Amino acid sequence: MFNFLTNNFAIPAQTVADLYQYRWQVELFFKWIKQHLRIKSFFGTFENAVKSQIWIAISVYILIAIIKNRLDSKSDLYTILQILSLTLLEKTLLAQLVTRMESISDTAYTHNQRRRSTGKRGSVSDERSATTPA
């Protein structure tokens, strides 16, 4: 049970709790943008420059979410952003890049699970072969 403070006594308590929950989702959204789109500082000091930079970051976030949805990718948004930033000038279909990355990730995960279940650590060459695409 939570206690929420408000100075608006005209609305029901449930509405205050719902508004807080919506606000929290917005906070998480901006936290993700700050962490993953790396807005550490603003390029300008004028209001318009700051707003432009924030809108660009939001646009990138939405485009990455659309890509994830259209490709039906199991990768998280940050991974897709990393793929895009590393392969920006490549002439490879995005679907192929994401699929390749997911296959490498699955192979590495399976290899690590196998090592844990046997209690053995693989050699460096074993680890390299698990993360190198065929």
Which residues lie closer than 8 Å to 57 by C-beta, 6 or more apart? 33, 37, 39
Cβ neighbours for 76, distance < 8 A, ≥ 6 positions apart: none
Regarding pTM above 0.75, the answer is no
Residue 81 contacts residue 38 (beta carbons within 8 Å): no
pLDDT digit string (tens) for 57-95?
Answer: 889 889 999 999 998 988 888 888 888 888 888 888 888
Q: What is the pLDDT of residues 10-49, one digit of tens each?
A: 888 888 888 888 888 888 887 877 787 777 778 888 999 9
